[in-house]
Amino acid sequence: MKRRAFLQTSAVLGVSFVAGCSLPVIPKRPAAQYEDALGWIRRSQGRYELLLPRVEMGQNITTALKQVACAELGIDWNDLTVRLPHTGEMARVRATVGSESVKDFAVPLAQACATLRDALAAGHTEGDRQAEPRPLSELRAFQPGARHVGRAAPLEQARAIVTGAPVFVADMRLPGMLFGRVLHAPVSPEQASTLASIDEDAARQVPGWVATVRDERLRLGQSEGLGIVARTPGALDRIEAALDARWHSQGGFAQADIDHAVDVDRHLAGDGFRYTVHDGAVDREGAWDVDLRIDVPLAAHAPIQPRAAVAAFDDQGGLDLWVGSQDVYYQRDVVRKHLGLDETQVRVHGHRVGGAFGGRTLCTVELEAAVLARAVRQPVKLQWTRAQELRQGFHRPPSSHRIRARLRDGRLEQWWHVFASSHILFTNAGLPVWMQRITDFVGDAGVARGAQLPYRCDRKRAEFALRRLPVFTGPWRGLGAGPNGLAMESAIDECARHAGADPVAFRLQHAEDPRLARVLRAVADRAGAQVAAPACLRRGRGVACGIYKQGSYAAVVAEVDVAPNGVPRVTRLVCAHDCGTVINPDQVRAQCEGNLVWGLGMALSDRLDVAHARIAAGSFAEAPIPSLDRVPPLEVVLVDEGGAPSGAGETAIVAAAAAIANAVRDATGVRIQRFPIDPTELKAQPA
């Protein structure tokens, strides 16, 4: 059973960069509707099929939505097949972002499954059905004890992954497939650069050379691109070396320029803050009980799989594009606009993504592969190198925070949080300077995410400034919620110390939301009493908590040991998590564990420096992620009191890093203000 026709989406501005235009294609983000969901589920020839409306990128939403569908339909697990459709098979759905897959898609899917179930029970086995919305209380999938829901289930694609079956786009193989790469100047794509010279004759002599492609559509930001195509992946490096490309680039910058642009104290002294989160009045003069500055640097997404795409044209000029993207419909829109194709001529096939974290939302390798495939008239696979991932992708913007607080009788009286950062939702990786200036009239909600103080306070003020940086910045797991939570919960910890209060009790005293208090109590109960440290170590415990997108709640307790040389080791992380009704507890715990490891990285290792007008790092050795030997035991307590499900993919990021920072403060007496933690600041003083 399927819908008769796709819903018509409203028109939005969208033209390509080429042919003298400078407007980017604007993503369309329709809300999930019950009517749309009727196109996701069907029954044919005695079998049920679910066309997955979300991108699978490790959150195992394929399994969770299958659980909802099987529970609502009242069928066995093996009676339903889940398939990733191409863009021509299903109405447009919004990008897989913001921890929304269960929150926004589970209920519409259950509604559609209930409609299908009732139709079949009434003997209607052919044709289409109209949507029949019903309240949550009537949906079987969300009732206590629902079959398949609230318990573990066999992971979809798990066997394929562990046996090496082709589930990622990098696994794609097509007859006659060639391999491509696009070269750019060795500077940030935000710097204007053009090709000065190449030795094409030398490149032609390299075995496996197929073509060199110069096309304006290979431009990345302000950087001209030069395409190369080879018969084998190994030939690409040799061709690149033989070409000996020389480039002209304009301008330059250093790490000091990045730091200066987001220096919160410079903004306090002069430029001020244009955007507000809390607009209460505070007394800016006089002494503050807590006056804390926190600086958080640039950081990479660090996916294990570099981005890749495969493009192939058919004899009628139609394009098939295989991608690992968070928004397959946006890929279709961008590629068809740039190549002058109709929507029906482009079919984008989504594949499982080997790590995204907000970094696979724009069109990069997808357009590059399509341009090269059209140029050589053969299928082309294009995959970025690790150095390209780090130097050509966008990153978590740096942010600089100053938080000042006053207390009276042990309670928060005034709170003033100011911070400076760069763009997240309105990323410079997708918007030209003039267009980003237009968006600056409304600010950037991604930068502000998580900056709402979840505690009682007589007067709250929070405001921020935005600066476009000479490197690409954009969405990173949780957007601004991670850095904002790190800064705010560090300051709350200092407030508790100033009040002479237990850090958990202080937060409970001020918590405005009972669900936040509930996860705090749960994590404190699970953490139990702390074990004394050996004489050679300084041991500490820290707590932090927060609310993600006003719907999900997390609290984290961290325990750390700090050696005499100042090196901290996190020895335990405990997390309590409330995201409403839990569809699959194992997978929610897995998402919490992932966030805890990201918090570990935020506190101890995440940093990208710049040098020579670009991101300096070109490998994991230069941009390390937490190694397994540094990951402590992780404990997750799920607090499920029912209600509509909310997001789990990013929630614990609001508290994980701050809990570690607070534990270090407890162990050493040192409040870390620049991240990641520098062990030299924690060296034990001689007796």
The class that CATH gives domain 169-250+307-383 is alpha beta
Question: What's residue 686's pLDDT?
Answer: 64
- Taking the mean position of all CA atoms in its chain, how far away is CA 202? 42
Question: Distance between CA atoms of 677 and 658, rounded to whole angstroms?
Answer: 12
- What band does 535 get if pLDDT is binned at 50, 70 and 90? confident
Q: Coil, helix or strand for 330?
A: helix
**Residue 16 predicted with pLDDT over 50:** no
Q: What are the domain boundaries of the chain?
A: 34-157, 169-250+307-383, 262-299+395-682
Same CATH topology for 169-250+307-383 and 262-299+395-682?
Answer: yes
What confidence tens digit (pLDDT) does each residue in 600-624 have?
999 999 999 999 999 999 999 999 9
Question: Is the pTM for the entire model greater than 0.75?
Answer: yes
What confidence tens digit (pLDDT) does each residue in 629-659 have?
999 999 999 998 877 788 899 999 999 999 9
Burial of 315 (0-12, 13-18, 19+ CB in 10 A): exposed
**CATH match of 262-299+395-682 with 3.60.130.10:** no
**CATH match of 34-157 with 3.30.365.10:** yes
**Which tokens belong to 104?**
């926004």
Question: What's residue 644's pLDDT?
Answer: 79
Omega within 30 of 0 (cis) for the link into 503: no
Average pLDDT, stretch 502-512? 97
Under a CB-based contact definition with an 8 Å cutoff, are residues 395 and 610 in contact?
no
What confidence tens digit (pLDDT) does each residue in 45-73 have?
889 999 999 999 999 999 999 999 999 99
**Residue 290 host element (H or E):** strand 290-296
Closest of 55, 42, 120 to residue 81, by C-alpha = 42
Question: Distance between CA atoms of 137 and 337, rounded to whole angstroms?
Answer: 44
What average pLDDT does the chain have? Answer: 92
What confidence tens digit (pLDDT) does each residue in 312-330 have?
999 999 999 999 999 999 9
Closest of 562, 638, 636, 637 to residue 604, by C-alpha = 562
Q: What DSSP designation does 142 have?
A: G
Question: Distance between CA atoms of 588 and 611, rounded to whole angstroms?
Answer: 39
Percent of the chain with pLDDT over 70: 96
